[in-house]
Amino acid sequence: MNCRFEMKIFMALIMLTMAGCSNAYSGVYEFRPFNGVTLIIQTKEIKQYPKIESVFLYFELTVRNQSLNEVYLDLGQLKASLNGISSTATHYDSLASVIPEKEKLAAGESHFELYFAFPESVDLRNGIQDFKLINYGLSTH
């Protein structure tokens, strides 16, 4: 076999292997803070912003509300811990970066595109090793 052909096969195998690797920042996390209420966070990507000394974790939040009681969601109160460091804020992922307000949850599913802001000190060398919600942003009044 010719060397160039073998090299092309080798490179193609490497590219296929790399394409199959999972993103160290993507994952799905499910929380059940109240009876009949489920929060599902699907993390998407992390961006570092050295000029503002922050790290943003972008995610989609799905809230399944099957509760018989009224439930309110204040996304601004939603807080997470990433690799042992607490988030400093939660914002909608939009051009205006609007700060969320408290709202009554409708029955069924609600979807939100958001991001958590973390201090730059969060260790991301090994991706997301420990992720949890420390405030669900939910209340019954």
Q: Torsion-angle region of residue 50: left (phi > 0), alpha (psi -120 to 50) or beta?
A: alpha
pLDDT of 17-58, one tens digit each? 333 334 567 899 999 999 999 999 999 999 999 999 999 999
**pTM to 2 decimal places:** 0.79
- Check residue 97 and give its pLDDT: 63
Nearest in space to 43 (alpha carbons), one of 119, 121, 122, 113: 113
Query: Any idea which architecture 23-139 has in CATH?
Result: Sandwich (2.60)
Which residue shows structure tokens 């809230």?
A: 63
